[in-house]
């Protein structure tokens, strides 16, 4: 059984936020993180900053964890990932990036571009591509704590506080 994609970005090593995200991921779901999961470049300190614990729990998800490095992540901290990832989910060709560097040419077969970096949620169709930024559950730059869900050929931007859809686009 194919589960949902739970889409997030910009956790910045905050363990309480990570626990919330993990609680949303059900048995057959895939967690998609568009960068800045660990924030090991700047090392924001505090009791909730636990990138090592997040790394252990995230990598334990195995093939149910899709992640790309963000500008605040140091690749040596969690080797084996990349700055871009292309994958297919339920017939949808997805490009996962953080978004801190411009993409000159999107692969022609891409249907959905997932990116983070801005901490501002966005879901819009531009030309033939759907661009999806889930915002941030840790450090939003808008009033809402947001994340995304992709399932049944639909991308949905969710308000975490009310657990309601803010916007959706059929893919």
The DSSP code sequence of 66-93 is: EEB--TT--GGGSTT-BSEEEEEETTEE
Rounded Cα distance, 13 and 119, in Å: 15
Of the candidate CATH numbers 3.20.20.70, 3.40.50.150, 3.60.21.10, 3.30.1360.10, the domain formed by 5-170 belongs to 3.60.21.10
Alpha helices in the chain (DSSP H): 15-24, 51-59
Mean pLDDT of the chain: 93
- What confidence tier does 137 reach under pLDDT thresholds 50, 70, 90? very high
pLDDT of residue 101: 59
What pLDDT band is residue 127 in, cutting at 50, 70 and 90? confident
Give the residue-averaged pLDDT of 104-117: 86
Residue 71 has pLDDT above 70, yes or no: yes
Percentage of residues of the chain with pLDDT beyond 70: 97
Ordered strands of the 112-114 beta sheet: 84-89, 92-97, 112-114, 129-133, 122-126
pTM attached to this predicted model: 0.95
Neighbours of 101 (CB within 10 A): 11
């Amino acid at each position: 059984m194919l589960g949902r994609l739970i889409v997030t970005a910009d956790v910045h090593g905050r363990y309480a936020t990570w626990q919330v995200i993990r609680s949303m991921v059900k048995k057959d779901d895939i967690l998609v993180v568009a960068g800045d999961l660990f924030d090991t470049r700047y090392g924001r300190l505090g009791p909730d900053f636990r990138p090592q614990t997040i790394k252990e729990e995230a990598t334990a998800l195995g093939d149910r964890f899709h992640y790309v490095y963000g500008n605040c992540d140091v690749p040596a901290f969690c080797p084996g990932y990349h700055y871009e990832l292309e994958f297919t989910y339920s017939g949808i060709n997805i490009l996962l990036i953080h978004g801190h560097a411009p993409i000159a040419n999107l692969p022609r077969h891409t249907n959905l571009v997932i990116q983070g970096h801005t901490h501002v949620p966005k879901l819009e169709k531009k030309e033939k591509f759907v661009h999806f930024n889930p915002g941030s559950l840790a450090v939003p730059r808008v009033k809402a704590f947001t994340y995304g869900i992709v399932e049944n050929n639909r991308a949905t931007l969710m308000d975490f506080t009310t657990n309601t859809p803010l916007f959706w686009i059929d893919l």
